[in-house]
Structure 1
């Protein structure tokens, strides 16, 4: 069951995603997350409220909880299928091709343009090093198989570039 979003709310959300200061966290990122969710769904990852749930519907139904999940910590319960799917889809950009990853990293830097380089660079390196130190980046087997190796290569490249 998909959720119908009232037109005024959808227009407001779209306008917010398109705000000029949003370089990474914008409508492109949303579209990429939804595409990654569809891909994971097509590869057999079960999430949503039923076997025929659409990724977009399940994402919209659990947006508030899921956004908190990806902002704080990845889901730890193997029963949190929606949280696992959304977290993996949100992080899928880490495993993209090097050119797209470099664009993502540049967009993140632009979003934090008010943070001086001498603060941003070591802070970003610390965050990326925490990702690299993790046993796994992606919680689902489908996402690990698809993105894990490339993500680790991209993260290592960025860490080196920030040194």
Structure 2
């Protein structure tokens, strides 16, 4: 059954995050168990958490990971392999360097290495790899599961005005080396690109939950950049 989530359900600030709330080891192990892998690696889990806690991250951090996992559960949009989506969410921003353009590729490669070493089959590994690569947001999702993952990653656009404002500021803090006029121009292009889409969210469940709020948030943010 597809559900809905109120935009106010997003955590209001990074300080609201508790690693025991949705990003704890037991949740990690449960996802692997759903894929048939018993005895998930604690070492890999701890390394992944360290990456999400890197000091240069203001948005692409544990808060974002927690929100993605939370939204995926609450919306519960129709999909083929929810555990694969959840595992891809755990890894989709594990590598994040704002100075590089291959973060998704490196994240996908890391997951593929872990999945291979854990014993997942080639076809599952291929789907997991593609799930992460689609978060580049440069092409349309090729499957229902890819659509759910992309919509989950973009759910922040439809958060409450307060959370969206915080997110917008967090993104700016990840690019302190970019002069403000240049940043404003590039940021405007990104936001206008989303607003120009016929629909921001591919799946019906995410569209119903977030489309209207996302368009209001984007229009407001673009107006501030004028």
Deviation track 1:100-156 (CA, whole Å, cap 9, x = no partner) reads 000000000000111111110011001111111110000000000000000000000
Which ranges in structure 2 are unaligned for 5 or more consecutive residues?
A: 1-33, 91-123
Which ranges in structure 1 are unaligned for 5 or more consecutive residues?
A: none
Q: What is the Cα deviation at residue 5 of structure 1?
A: 3.6
Q: Is the 8 A contact 1:24 1:104 kept in 2?
A: yes
Q: Is the 8 A contact 1:40 1:85 kept in 2?
A: no
Match of 1:6 in 2: 41
Worse-matched range after superposition: 56-65 or 117-126: 56-65
Match of 1:95 in 2: 158
Q: What is the Cα deviation at residue 31 of structure 1?
A: 0.7
Counterparts of 2:60 and 2:129, CA distance in 1: 16
Q: What is the Cα deviation at residue 75 of structure 1?
A: 3.1
- Runs of 4+ deviating beyond 4 Å: 57-63
Counterparts of 1:146 and 1:13, CA distance in 2: 30
Q: What is the Cα deviation at residue 58 of structure 1?
A: 6.7
Over the aligned positions, Cα root-mean-square deviation in angstroms equals: 2.0
Counterparts of 2:186 and 2:89, CA distance in 1: 30
* Aligned length in residues: 156
**Aligned partner of 1:66 among 128, 131, 138:** 131
Match of 2:66 in 1: 31
Q: What is the Cα deviation at residue 23 of structure 1?
A: 0.6
Q: Is the 8 A contact 1:34 1:55 kept in 2?
A: no
Counterparts of 2:64 and 2:200, CA distance in 1: 19
Deviation track 1:77-105 (CA, whole Å, cap 9, x = no partner) reads 3xx11111110111001000000000000
- Asked which structure has the greater CA Rg, the reply is 2
Question: Are 1:47 and 2:79 matched, yes or no?
Answer: yes
Question: Are 1:83 and 2:146 matched, yes or no?
Answer: yes
